[in-house]
Amino acid sequence: MELLSTNVSFDGEHRRYRHTSATLECTMEFAVYLPPIAVGPDPQKVPALWWLSGLTCNDQNFMQKAGAQKKAAELGMAIICPDTSPRGVNLPGEDDSYDFGSGAGFYINATQQPWAPHYRMHDYVVKELSQLVESELALTGKRSISGHSMGGHGALICALRNPGRYVSVSAFAPIAHPTKCPWGEKAFKGYLGDNPAGWEEWDATLLIPEADERLPLLIDQGTADDFLESQLNPEALVEACVQHSHPINLRMRSGYDHSYFFIASFIDDHLNHHAAALGLS
């Protein structure tokens, strides 16, 4: 881990790191917020919230716009922000559109060429980066996970596919049923191939019936979100949860859109939700 920068924030530290990823076969950057008790000459180990960002984003969007550091500092919670895709692998078409390729890894493991050797963001987040930061930083290894839009989809599938790894999960405006929306169909076809049956293991709505763990899902969704009807489909996720007795709390937020103004308005609620599960409140 090469330290790129450090900023003091609410007496903790926001740090940016670079490392070489064996999983993605490229160099990656990520951000960490460490609360005050986890920095200094005698740092105490703290649990972490993993935040997965959405299309076009990198590690910096959440750290600069969400306003999460103050509450995280009070709670004694670290925040880990990975990037949203491999970077600099120079694949054909990688930078042609905002919703596929760079900035659009969808937190899945690609099986199609030329994407398969690099676009393995699920294994990167769940395994490689987790092992790295927990071995190098003052972290307990107790984890929660959340995210926005594509990252909300990522948070849900990371939790549903890896029972016991996270103690809580939440999402802001997640792509809740990606096999049935344009964003998901485009990404899954490109990364996973033409057979929709191979897509199902990466769709939160379709994972609910066979989930081995019933972590309560906390989801906030703005009613003025331009992508609500065409891309996000939270109703499908709710229906699956109701049918299979999976606890879910979908909160429709009147007038809110898809932006970080929406996230910043309710981020404290989500941090408190995770803090309770992490034993911090």
Whether 203 sits among the annotated catalytic residues: the reply is no
Phi and psi at 278, nearest 5°, equal: -85, 0
CA distance 217 to 30: 26
**Cα angle for residues 113, 114, 116 (degrees, 5° grid):** 65
Q: Which two tokens stand for residue 74?
A: 């009070």
CA distance 160 to 229: 24
Is there a contact between 10 and 70 (Cβ–Cβ < 8 Å)?
yes
Residue 69 parent element (H or E)? helix 69-75
CA distance 259 to 225: 8
CA distance 267 to 50: 13
Whether 149 sits among the annotated catalytic residues: the reply is yes
Selected catalytic residue, list 258, 270, 273, 274: 258
Selected catalytic residue, list 149, 177, 203, 274: 149
Helix ranges restricted to H, the chain: 59-65, 69-75, 121-123, 130-136, 150-161, 182-192, 204-207, 234-243, 260-278
CA distance 107 to 122: 5
Whether 170 sits among the annotated catalytic residues: the reply is no
Selected catalytic residue, list 225, 246, 270, 273: 225
Give the residue numbers annotated as catalytic, written as ranges: 149, 225, 258
